Structure 1
């Protein structure tokens, strides 16, 4: 008889019984569980969208969607320059999981619903929908965002808009590269920057030669082309008509031309990126590529300004979405794991960290929805002036806060957080792209200065916004006064002094904006804690350093 005979106990057979680990956070309603977002959607005029957002919340919280989010980042896109016979293909192959993810987002209007179905609160509703999907899989949010933003540039050029806007508004998703005549939907990408220029788009050397009418033939190279599988692209090029140099123009480059002919769009390679790996970014070459001018020739920067404002807004929304994923996962873990005889969430040091992370998320989310509200169709001139300054201010600060927020939340999970089996390692790699895309820190801070000098009403509009909560917090009032005094001084300063203080100004204005929003829309307890933790004399430099007497448990419970 051996040691494994029937009935004999085997020592150590239960060594892999798992205890003290929370279950996988799946099959939850990501909208209904997010009480601050539910309240903010209603406060910013989109309460009518609650049912649709609830449906989306259940989709993105499902086990299947979360599994697709993981697969799309593990099985990354692959570029195919030629087919097996040597003909040019210039296509990008994605894992089927990516197509399922983006199909769900498009079906629910996360891309262009605010344009296709305008009504009061439409941009707020679209922003909330965008955040729900970006919370779980951020890579697909890039083409979704660009398609939304591109409408602002294309809509006033009927030679493009008449054919393409109906496809961009469609809620179908067709991933195949089909002739335009056979395709009922479209996503839009962008190819702006070049090796020698980066953010200095005027340094681009791509040349567009007039073919007559609105058409140009392009020759050049783009260092970053976002979402190269898209159906059309906004491209910047130096254009020429005959012997006349027109200057920097914006052009629309379709992947296919009439009768199914493929436009020249040579994918040289895909970027090997730190994060955002589900989404492809490519280097592309144009060689006789056909493009249609958008807006006026030589006015390329002016043509894309409103588009850029909207993609910068989506950087804020995407960062806030990532913060929500981070705090949601950290809270789930802390409520399901014990240490030192108590649940982690009940240990005061951990409670303080979780509360601080939750406040940071709520301030970022409110910032994003307030900005979205400023882009509504019925926006006033004052709203337009305010968004011109508040958008870069918020993009600068919120996106800077994203990586540290993700790191701190990751640390709440301990060793699990540092593994690829949990989503926060991926989120930690993801957050920096929001700070880089559409202008990294210095570029955005300088744009804050440009807003003050080129749109003089923007500073007054920002002051009016802060005045709405004057008298409710002495700490905020003092900070707002200092910030506006700095704004006034830098608006008159020479370039060197203004640029040296541009980051300080951006940070100060952003915190004042967030604190004012918290006072208006968060519980007074949460707003007061946020203000004292960010602006008070005893503020700390790390998450979890909250003012004495803070009811951190109550803050955590709301999230």
Structure 2
């Protein structure tokens, strides 16, 4: 006889306090690609339909419970720095949880770091962007070394001798995290080391100096670098593109972690940054104490040499923030399809429908612009496409990344109190959300780059309005917004002061134009009605009357 049988009848069920019901469930074990109709449509529309099967296979992996757990583990166990080994030798070793290495290995074996360079052609950037978008929904921090490795190739190709020695290993689909000389590795990763304390985004204020290591100077020649770098992301990379001053001005260099003779190059890691988000990714402060490096590109043209790398990393910020929006809204949609309140399932309640549909519209606009820019990257020999890359990359990076933190918060609110708990995915999504808006050029820097592109190459403005013109007649509100934007461009007074306002409108009109051309009418009309009326500071959940919220929600809800 057990204790319960010995109790009086009214005490028999004291241990059974309640039945767990009307709760959410984990969004796992689904095909992350197939469940995203907007993504599938964009992949086919922008020229990468040939990658559909590969993406479906990858979507099964990224949506699996086991793979999702890797992202959680990589953030739960932050990287740790050993400056020296136990015998006192300098090692500058960053230790990561095995989950981080598995995410890196999978990404590199799938070619997320290099596929458009090794297999260029129609849809190459589109397919790579879609794979990266799925991977980043699982975990964002390891995307930093992936994107820097990817973006390093155009810069290195300015110096053929360095490109010949490094690009084959950069593009190899082999991940080797060992802290050993790069010559012993079949595959390598590349980082960036540009920012200094006194300059920040103003890299021309850098004080790090480069001294010739021999009699040769100029592109491909060896130098020794002395100075500091205040933000070096992914210090475990095998080499870094670094900016330093020479007699000819600010120049670009490739600096490996090890010297050719197998000794440690004195790029010394002082500490890892303690960040509010992006925890899985190691960011560091370093000092260069005569570190050996080779000049990339022309002396004094360091910014010009590295600008293509910066453009690529900024584009990946667009992908990463669009992916963050998709994961946030997917979690909100999944939860609200299962939980009831006040006698009705949440996604059946009109006010919640307004919020959910609004979040979906934001994400669909972000994805449409991101994937359109991937097609532009695939066709840069076309002057129109090249102009879009030069102008709209900055527009998209500014707008999409800027919108993501509030989007993450609003999606988290859909979950309620449980969404704030650390065992929910939302705290990590929320802490990650501001990162892309600040890194690789903050909002003001992007807006100033838009103005600079317009002033330096006026043809980019014509290309932008030509792109908007493809949607002419498709929506009256959009036609009016484009006309108003043209009038805004005609007024050059205080343009720098008004830069954010102008770029806001550029972003909204091009997102609207893409949706009017390609999205279902319910999506396009709702986007235009809610975002082209001059109330850009509106709260989510304030869609106007007449929006088909049910269609928008059903279209975006992951089917598990």
* TM-score bucket of the superposed structures, by smaller chain: over 0.9
SS state at 1:500 partner: coil
Counterpart CA distance in 1 for 2:366 and 2:2 is 65
CA separation in 2, counterparts of 1:411 and 1:342?
18
User: Helix, strand or coil for the counterpart of 2:274?
Assistant: coil
- Counterparts of 1:357-506 in structure 2, within 5 Å, are 357-377=359-379, 379-490=381-492, 493=493, 497-506=494-503
1:225 is matched with: 232
Q: Deviations over 1:226-262 (max 9, x none)?
A: 11111111110002xxxxx110001111112224222
The answer on 1:82 being equivalent to 2:84 is: yes
Match of 1:99 among 89, 98, 101: 101
In the superposition, relative to structure 1, how do residues 274 and 540 fare at CA in structure 2: closer, same or farther (>3 Å)? closer
User: Do the aligned partners of 1:180 and 1:260 also contact (CA within 8 Å) in 2?
Assistant: no
1:143-168 per-position Cα deviation (integer Å, ceiling 9, x unaligned)? 11111111111122122111211111
Find the counterpart in structure 1 of residue 340 from structure 2: 338
Q: Which residue of 2 aligns with 1:242?
A: none
Counterparts of 1:51-450 in structure 2 under 5 Å? Answer: 51-212=53-214, 213=216, 214-239=221-246, 245-377=247-379, 379-450=381-452
CA distance in 2, matches of 1:180, 1:41: 36
Taking a change above 3 Å as real, the CA distance of residues 6 and 99 of structure 1, as seen in their structure-2 partners, is farther
Alignment-derived partner of residue 555 in structure 1: 552
User: 1:332-356, CA deviations, whole angstroms, 9 ceiling, x for partnerless residues?
Assistant: 1001111111111111111111111
Whether 2:542 is the aligned partner of 1:545: answer yes
* C-alpha distance in structure 2 between counterparts of 1:489 and 1:168, whole Å: 46
Offset of residue 22 of structure 1:
2.3
2:158 and 2:305 in contact (8 A); partners too: no
User: Contact 1:396 / 1:435 at 8 angstroms: preserved in 2?
Assistant: yes
Deviation per residue, 1:246-290 (Å, 9 max, x gap): 100011111122242221120000110110000010000100101
Distance in 2 between the 1:388 and 1:12 partners?
68
RMSD: 1.5
User: Is the CA contact (8 Å cut-off) linking 1:218 and 1:287 kept in structure 2?
Assistant: yes
- Do the aligned residues in 2 keep the contact of 1:41 with 1:128 (CA within 8 Å)? yes
Tell me if structure 2 keeps the 8 A contact 1:73–1:277.
yes
Q: TM-score, normalised by structure 2?
A: 0.96
Cα distance, 1:6 vs structure 2: 6.7
CA-CA distance at 1:471 after TM superposition: 1.5
Deviation string, structure 1 residues 12-52 (Cα, Å, up to 9, x no partner): 32326421112211111100100110010000000001111
Residues paired across the two proteins, number: 549
Q: Which residue of 2 aligns with 1:4?
A: 4
Cα displacement (A) at 1:377: 5.0
CA spacing shift, 1:193–1:16, aligned 2, 3 Å: farther
> Residues of 2 paired with 1:488 and 1:291: CA distance?
47
- Alpha-carbon distance in 2 for matches of 1:534, 1:91: 48
* Cα distance change of structure 1 residues 268 and 404 upon mapping to structure 2, 3 Å threshold: same
- Give the conservation status (yes or no) of the 8 Å contact 1:532–1:538: no
SS in 1 for 2:248: strand
Distance 1:263 1:199, change over 3 A: same
Deviation at 1:360, TM superposition (A): 0.6
* Consecutive unaligned residues in structure 1, runs of 5 or more: 240-244
CA contact (8 A) 1:146 1:190 kept: yes
Secondary structure at the counterpart of residue 274 of structure 1: coil
- Indicate if the aligned counterparts of 1:382 and 1:461 stay in contact, CA closer than 8 A: yes
Displacement of 1:539 = 7.5
TM-score, normalized by length of structure 1? 0.96
Specify the SS of the correspondent of 1:120: coil
Structure 2: stretches of 5+ with no match in the other structure? none
Q: 1:147–1:488: structure 2 CA closer, same or farther, 3 Å change rule?
A: farther
